[in-house]
Structure 1
Amino acid sequence: MLNDRGPRMAAGDFGSVTSAVDIFVKDLGIVNDVARAMRFPAPLSAAALQSFVGVAGVGMGKLDDSAVMLYYPQPEQGGRQS
């Protein structure tokens, strides 16, 4: 997955859509609904869903799913993250 999405993430090219953020919101929502119904813990898919919902919630749902990285604060160019 990272071999495919990584170059787009590094380039910041989220307009060349392979799979949209909104699709991941839908699919991860289904995964979490099934897990809940089966009483199966799925903490990683729940956390991933929140990241995709966060990006979609600020109007980026139509972008490539690699835009999920925008949910997380980015260090400034040339700076360092504290």
Structure 2
Amino acid sequence: VAALMIVWWLLAASTGPEYFAFANGFVTSWFGDLVMFLSLWAIWYHTLAGVRHLIWDNAKMLEIDKAEMLGWMVIIGSAVLTVFSVVVLW
């Protein structure tokens, strides 16, 4: 959904100021902000989960307790990185 919103916003920017104002108002609304925030969280989660799988591909931390700890690290790390990204980019 975020990718479609970004493409729509870019197309509106090339169309004209009136249509861009409409698209920009939607993308920067509470709904647009929520979609972008959740998409950013999904990107960080996917990245950290990929790192977790790279660790497992090297036959490391495969024990149940360590694998569960890695899972929590992915969840907490993605939340922290999302908030950090929003604060820095704001």
What TM-score do the two structures reach when normalised by structure 1? 0.35
Choose between structure 1 and 2: higher helix proportion.
Answer: 2
Whichever of the two has the greater Rg, that structure is: 2
Q: Which has the higher contact order (CA 8 A, sep 6+)?
A: 1
What TM-score do the two structures reach when normalised by structure 2? 0.32
